[in-house]
Amino acid sequence: MFPAKLMSFAPSMSSRHVLILVLALLPVLSGCSEGKVASYRVPKEALPPAPEATAAQPAANQDMASIPVPTGSDQLGWTAPAHWTPGVAGAMRKGSYAIRGAEGEADLSITSFPGDTGGLLANMNRWRGQIGLAPQSMAQLEAGLQHVDVGPLHFDIVDYSGTANGAPTRIIGAVLARPGETWFFKLMGPDALVAREKSAFLAFIETVRIP
């Protein structure tokens, strides 16, 4: 479309002059038209990075019920041999003692957990695995058990000898099943030292009582 000013004087001009003037004005008109149309490329807004998984976030399928938790029951008492050095009890331990000798140091732990914690066979095979021994069948376990009754309390006693950290290691333990909970009395350390302490350990088990 031509400007109104141009159209106002166009009749007074010859056709040739008008044509020349129009041709001369075309670049100007074209430049004005182009100047009114502009396009802009707006960069897309960057999306925030996805939150990283952290070790503190628990797995969705984690079965928290499978993690044993101490019962907090303190309904047992005992008397330890004088040469056993008491240690600090904690959330996982109701009692702790160190037994030292020329062979090194053995550890006596007393723990309590709710329920049967998987049963006697599973727990004893776990102990066996700690000193490099193969799992047992129930028949093999029962054949090697020693039973001790202290009043109303019934203990299953095991004695395993194997290797841990390249050294001969022994575990002598007593398991006490009570309504709703299981107690473990476990003596573990250098084979010769634990073997020598077996009589003291059995005498210790005889002192366990319900206050």
pLDDT band at 91 (very low <50, low <70, confident <90, very high): confident
> What mean pLDDT is predicted for residues 185-205?
98
Is 185 within 8 Å of 176 (Cβ atoms)? yes
The per-residue pLDDT of the chain, averaged, comes to 77
Domain of 149? 70-205
- Domain count of the chain? 2
Asked, for residue 168, whether it belongs to a domain, the answer is yes
Is there a single domain that holds both residue 78 and residue 178? yes
Read off the amino acid at residue 23.
Answer: L
Asked, for residue 105, whether it belongs to a domain, the answer is yes
| Beta-sheet pairing, 104-114 with 146-150 | unpaired
pLDDT band at 63 (very low <50, low <70, confident <90, very high): very low
Q: Which of 174, 143, 181 is nearest to 157 (CA)?
A: 174
Greater confidence (157 vs 70) lies with: 157
Asked, for residue 90, whether it belongs to a domain, the answer is yes
Asked, for residue 48, whether it belongs to a domain, the answer is no
Is there a single domain that holds both residue 30 and residue 77? no
Q: What CATH number is given to the structural domain containing 180? A: 3.40.1000.10
Range ranked top by mean pLDDT from 60-69, 71-80, 112-121, 128-137: 128-137
Q: List the beta bridge partners of residue 146.
A: 157
Is there a single domain that holds both residue 110 and residue 187? yes
pLDDT at 58 over 80: no
Is there a single domain that holds both residue 154 and residue 86? yes
Q: Does residue 50 come out as left (phi exceeding 0), alpha (psi in the -120 to 50 range) or beta?
A: beta
Range name among 31-35, 71-75, 142-146 with the lowest pLDDT average: 31-35
Is there a single domain that holds both residue 160 and residue 83? yes
Is there a single domain that holds both residue 77 and residue 24? no
Is there a single domain that holds both residue 92 and residue 178? yes
Is there a single domain that holds both residue 74 and residue 149? yes
Asked, for residue 56, whether it belongs to a domain, the answer is no
Asked, for residue 64, whether it belongs to a domain, the answer is no
pLDDT in tens, 15-44: 555 455 545 555 444 444 444 443 334 344
Asked, for residue 211, whether it belongs to a domain, the answer is no
Asked, for residue 79, whether it belongs to a domain, the answer is yes
pLDDT at 19: 52
pLDDT at 7 over 50: no
pLDDT band at 204 (very low <50, low <70, confident <90, very high): very high
